[in-house]
Amino acid sequence: MATDDERFAIAQVTPFPWEQHHEVNRYVERLSDELCARGHRVVVVAPSESRELIRESRARIKRLKREPEAIFEAAGCVSLLGVGQSLPFRRGGSVSLPLDVSRTLEDLLEGARFDFVHVHEPFAPSAAGAALRHSHALNIGTFHSPSERFLSTQVARPVVARLFGRLDGRTASFNATRERVERYFPGSYRVIGPGADLMPREDGPVEGPPEILFSAEEERGALRLFLRALRKLPADLDFKATVWMRDPASAAPPQLPRRLRDRVRFAGPADGSEAQHLARATIAVAASTGAAPAPQLVLRALAGGAVPVVSRLPQYEEVLREGELGLLFEPGDVITLGAQLQRLLSDPELVERLAESVLRAHPALEWGRTADGFEDLYRNVSARRHDIDGKPAVRKRLAGRDFIHVDLHMHTDHSPDCATPAATLLEAAAVAGLGAIAVTDHNEVSGAHEARMLAETGGGGVKVIVAEEVKTADQGEVIGLFIEDKIPRGMSLPETIAAIRSQGGLVYVPHPFDRMHSVPDYEHLLEVVEQVDAIEVFNPRVAFTAFNEEAARFAAKYRIVAGAGSDSHVAAGLGSVKIRMRDFDGPEEFLESLRDADIVRKRTSLLYVQALKFIQTKATPAPARRRTARPGAGARRAGPSKR
């Protein structure tokens, strides 16, 4: 049972309509039940074919604005939300998700307070993919049994890969699934296998001949293969066979030869559940060729105590522990399937030996083991979140301080891509009404030292934070605030962070998701997230606002202090974004003041600032740059503009 501190609010999202008894839905349902029994609050989110469920779900989602907890209302432990029918449709030659589904998910995930959004098979377009796109929580992705064809034909794989970049934890149901999905979407995947509900075997010997069960949860061709294998069994071999179908009335049974008509029957829920049939069966067959495998069916066969005979698909083979718990045949090989069935029907000792192995494996099959794995993953991921309380004693000390405006990202001519002298920068900062600035030259601290010296000797009321924007080997840039010594470029991200911390500095990640800059990818950032003190959530120089939004989303879900800066390479850009915060002294007070700060933006022209940077650094000869960048010129340029 989870403690109060470890109880989470979780959305489990499946892309398959809930009325379809898909394997992923079975997984979601049983995992949700187990998590609820342990004290977690779980909402299952699924497409639905029920108009009544969809209407009721949308009404509850609308209530979120005034009642954030309304989403967890349910008669039982798990709350179910239907978000509409998610069958993708074609529009203008592309495949899309219905807008009502995407909007419903957006309203839900913006209004509800989830710790985790756990998406299953989050490929786009689907409800799970849309949930991952709109999530503001920590995200877990589980991959079950994606087919080779589905993955290999993803024309939008780069887009999907970026979407998967929002995953804070990745799991796969089987090692075979992990290996396959890693091939297309590299990352770190933890294998957490599905469970099965154990069914007690009937007491005493089963009367009559041994029974073979085929559950029609696989593709239609698997049933044809099974029936062809039965035709190959010797006529004098005593057995009976049951084909269990969820809706036998909707499927016309195939024609059988006369000698099999009395031995094979087609059954459905009216004749008992699949689990009850498995608990009576001697042998269970899974014959998928790979078009629609059902590895959980093999697990259910084991849980029922039947001896499985299955096609040699990677997931099936994994469940049977490479043949330790049952017999195998090559997919589509009807002759070997028939021979394996004949072998078991003719050798009771082999059946008994395999059945004993199956029973010994039962403790490892329970759903509780699956829930254990996810609880551990949830705890590990949530442990990366920062402490939201900070240092109350320091904040209390700051309470009486005046407010100042701060810009945390700018450059001087000590950066190779900037022509603004330190003196000009300070004059522009004063004109912009800034009380403090962080000078963050690329791989250099000399410009920050010069600016601080000028500020201390010349007055002007602008406080200078010595900083450096350091280029790592291949994991983007990171800013060290409140440092004194230059940090060399080219180290790994963890090494660079360690160098910042060794000086007592603060680790500040600039433009973390701006793909136009050198940035750490999501997984690299996750590896060091506990060591990050603040994240730049607004940078006016990014080409797309979505990059800033992604940074803000990341900072919020990991509870990281948010910062902002103009990233100015010219004096005119200074103050295009300001942080309103209490005045501070040193890194400790700075961080606590930043925790409660407000970010103030103003409209600016990125093209204008970029054009000035081009003129100063590329189009203007060096002597002319020095003349036009004399003290005073930058201050006038940084003043109010009528543009």
Strands 436-442 and 561-564, sheet pairing: unpaired
* Position 616 in a domain: no
Measured in degrees and rounded to the nearest 5, phi and psi for residue 154 equal: -75, 95
Q: What is the mean predicted confidence (pLDDT) over 38-43? A: 93
Q: What is the mean predicted confidence (pLDDT) over 101-125? A: 91
Q: Are 308 and 376 members of one domain?
A: no
Interatomic CA distance for residues 415 and 410, integer angstroms: 10
Domain end position, chosen among 302, 333, 363: 363
* Position 633 in a domain: no
More confident residue, 525 or 115: 115
Kind and range of the H or E run holding 628: helix 622-628
Which CATH number goes with the domain that contains 275? 3.40.50.2000
Q: Are 97 and 220 members of one domain?
A: no
pLDDT tens per residue, range 129-138:
999 999 999 9
**Cis status, amide bond into 125, omega within 30 of 0:** yes
Q: Are 164 and 52 members of one domain?
A: yes
Domain of residue 318: give its range: 211-363
Interatomic CA distance for residues 340 and 189, integer angstroms: 35
pLDDT at 220: 87
pLDDT at 465: 97
Which CATH number goes with the domain that contains 474? 3.20.20.140
* Position 149 in a domain: yes
> Which pair of tokens denotes residue 221?
């061709």
pLDDT at 610: 45
pLDDT at 442: 95
Domain end position, chosen among 309, 334, 363: 363
DSSP letters for 85-135: ----EEETTEEE--HHHHHHHHHHHHHS--SEEEEES-PSSSHHHHHHHH-
Q: Are 145 and 215 members of one domain?
A: no
Interatomic CA distance for residues 28 and 131, integer angstroms: 15
With beta carbons less than 8 A apart as the criterion, state whether 430 and 632 touch.
no
When mean pLDDT is compared across 59-63, 84-88, 274-278, 545-549, the lowest value belongs to 84-88
Q: What is the 3-state secondary structure (H, E, C) of 177-228?
A: HHHHHHHHCCCCEEECCCCCCCCCCCCCCCCCCCEEEEECCCCHHHHHHHHH
pLDDT at 633: 39
Distances (CA, A) of 211 to 226, 247, 336: 14, 21, 19
Q: What is the mean predicted confidence (pLDDT) over 90-119? A: 78
Interatomic CA distance for residues 459 and 244, integer angstroms: 86
pLDDT at 605: 43
> Across all residues in the chain, what is the average pLDDT?
86
pLDDT at 641: 36
The total number of structural domains in the chain stands at: 3
Interatomic CA distance for residues 501 and 507, integer angstroms: 7
When mean pLDDT is compared across 192-201, 362-371, 442-451, the lowest value belongs to 192-201
Q: Are 51 and 98 members of one domain?
A: yes
Q: Please say if the pLDDT value at position 639 is more than 50.
A: no
With beta carbons less than 8 A apart as the criterion, state whether 184 and 154 touch.
yes
- Give Cα 131 to chain centroid, integer Å: 10
Q: Are 29 and 169 members of one domain?
A: yes
| List of E strands, 342-498 | 403-410, 436-442, 463-471, 477-481
Local confidence band at 184 (pLDDT 50, 70, 90 cut-offs)? confident
pLDDT at 622: 47
Q: Are 269 and 292 members of one domain?
A: yes
The predicted model scores a pTM of: 0.84
Q: Are 36 and 138 members of one domain?
A: yes
* Position 629 in a domain: no
Local confidence band at 602 (pLDDT 50, 70, 90 cut-offs)? low
- Give Cα 165 to chain centroid, integer Å: 7
What order of strands is seen across the sheet that includes strand 264-267?
264-267, 240-244, 211-215, 283-286, 307-311, 327-329
Q: Are 155 and 45 members of one domain?
A: yes
Strands 189-191 and 169-172, sheet pairing: parallel
pLDDT tens per residue, range 614-637:
444 544 444 444 444 444 433 333
pLDDT at 320: 96
pLDDT at 4: 58
Kind and range of the H or E run holding 496: helix 493-502
pLDDT at 618: 47
* Position 489 in a domain: yes
Q: Are 11 and 153 members of one domain?
A: yes
More confident residue, 445 or 614: 445
More confident residue, 591 or 618: 591
Interatomic CA distance for residues 326 and 354, integer angstroms: 6
* Position 349 in a domain: yes
Q: Are 33 and 85 members of one domain?
A: yes
Local confidence band at 1 (pLDDT 50, 70, 90 cut-offs)? low
Strand partners, 96: 89
Distances (CA, A) of 357 to 147, 205, 326, 550: 30, 18, 9, 50
Q: Are 449 and 341 members of one domain?
A: no
Q: Please say if the pLDDT value at position 642 is more than 60.
A: no
- Give Cα 187 to chain centroid, integer Å: 11
Torsion (CA) 348, 354, 355, 360 in degrees, nearest 10: 150
Q: Please say if the pLDDT value at position 378 is more than 90.
A: yes
Interatomic CA distance for residues 408 and 480, integer angstroms: 11
Give the chain's largest Cα–Cα span: 106
Measured in degrees and rounded to the nearest 5, phi and psi for residue 536 equal: -75, 110
pLDDT tens per residue, range 207-264:
779 999 999 989 889 999 999 999 999 988 999 999 999 887 766 667 788 888 889 9
> Which pair of tokens denotes residue 447?
């410009």
Domain end position, chosen among 326, 348, 382: 382
DSSP, collapsed to helix, strand or coil, labels residue 7 as coil
Q: Please say if the pLDDT value at position 86 is more than 70.
A: no
* Position 311 in a domain: yes
422-431 and 446-458 helices, crossing angle to 10°: 60
With beta carbons less than 8 A apart as the criterion, state whether 118 and 12 touch.
yes
pLDDT at 624: 46
Can you tell me which residue has the tokens 């602008």?
Answer: 462
Q: What is the mean predicted confidence (pLDDT) over 13-20? A: 92
Interatomic CA distance for residues 436 and 333, integer angstroms: 75
Q: CB count, 10 Å around CB of 498?
A: 15
DSSP, collapsed to helix, strand or coil, labels residue 632 as coil
pLDDT at 643: 32
With beta carbons less than 8 A apart as the criterion, state whether 414 and 444 touch.
yes
pLDDT at 611: 44
With beta carbons less than 8 A apart as the criterion, state whether 425 and 407 touch.
no
Interatomic CA distance for residues 466 and 452, integer angstroms: 7
When mean pLDDT is compared across 175-184, 279-288, 440-449, the lowest value belongs to 175-184
More confident residue, 158 or 474: 474
pLDDT at 627: 43
pLDDT at 384: 93
Distances (CA, A) of 261 to 214, 242, 266, 593: 16, 11, 10, 81
Closest by CA to 146, choosing from 291, 349, 318, 343, is 291
100: amino acid identity, one letter: D
pLDDT at 147: 59
* Position 262 in a domain: yes
